[in-house]
Amino acid sequence: MKNTILIISILVSMSAYSQDIIINFSAEGVSTEIDYVKIENITQNKEITTTENSINLSIATKITDYQQNKNSINIYPNPFMDKANIEFYSNKKQKINITILDITGKILVNENKNIEQGTQIYNFRAGKTGIYFILISGNDFKFNEKIISMELFSGETRFTSFESNQNTKQAKNIFYEIGDQLIFTAYSSDYSSIISSSPTISNDYIFEFVECQDFDQNNYPTIKIGDQIWMAENLKSEYYANGNSIDGDYFYDNNSSNKDIYGSLYTWAAVMNGATGNNNNPSGVQGVCPNGWHVPSEEEWDEMREELGGWQLMHGRVKEVGTMHWDSPNSDATNESGLSFLPAGMRWGSDGTYQNLGELAHFWTTTDTDDLDNAGGYRFFSELPSAQEYMQTFDSKNHAKSIRCVKN
Please list, residue by residue across 109-122, b when 16 or more beta carbons sit within 10 angstroms of its beta carbon and e when fewer do.
eeeeeebebbbbbb
DSSP, collapsed to helix, strand or coil, labels residue 122 as: strand
Q: Which of 376, 350, 349 lies closest to 363, judged by CA?
A: 376
- Separation of alpha carbons 346 and 354, rounded Å: 6
- Separation of alpha carbons 30 and 26, rounded Å: 13
pLDDT for 16: 38
Q: Which of 93, 92, 94, 74 lies closest to 84, judged by CA?
A: 74
Q: What are the boundaries of each domain within the chain?
A: 72-169, 234-407
> pTM of the entire structure?
0.71
pLDDT for 340: 96
- Separation of alpha carbons 54 and 170, rounded Å: 10
pLDDT for 214: 97
pLDDT for 142: 86
Examine the pLDDT at 65 and tell me if it is beyond 80. no
Contacts of 195 (CB under 8 A, 6+ apart): 183, 184, 186, 205, 207, 223, 338
Parallel, antiparallel, or unpaired: how do β-strands 249-250 and 392-395 relate? Answer: unpaired
Averaged over 384-397, what is the pLDDT?
A: 76
pLDDT for 282: 97
pLDDT for 296: 98
pLDDT per residue over 44-56, tens digit each? 888 888 888 988 8
SS3 for 322-355, per residue?
CCCCCCCCCCCCCCCCCCCECCCEEECCCCCCEE
pLDDT per residue over 161-182, tens digit each? 644 444 444 456 777 888 999 9
- Separation of alpha carbons 180 and 398, rounded Å: 42
More confident site: 189 or 20: 189
What single string gives the DSSP state of each residue in 249-294?
EE-GGG-HHHHHHH--EEEHHHHHTTPPP---SS----TTSPTTEE
- Separation of alpha carbons 393 and 332, rounded Å: 21
pLDDT for 228: 97
Pick the CATH number of 72-169 from 3.65.10.10, 2.60.40.2550, 3.30.450.30, 3.40.1640.10: 2.60.40.2550
The least confident of 1-5, 135-139, 374-378, 393-397 is 1-5
pLDDT for 162: 46
Examine the pLDDT at 345 and tell me if it is beyond 80. yes
Averaged over 381-404, what is the pLDDT?
A: 84
pLDDT per residue over 216-274, tens digit each? 999 999 999 999 999 999 999 999 999 999 999 999 999 999 999 999 999 999 999 99
For the chain, percent of residues with pLDDT exceeding 90: 53
Q: Which of 307, 299, 268, 306 lies closest to 282, judged by CA?
A: 299
pLDDT band at 66 (very low <50, low <70, confident <90, very high): very low
More confident site: 343 or 17: 343
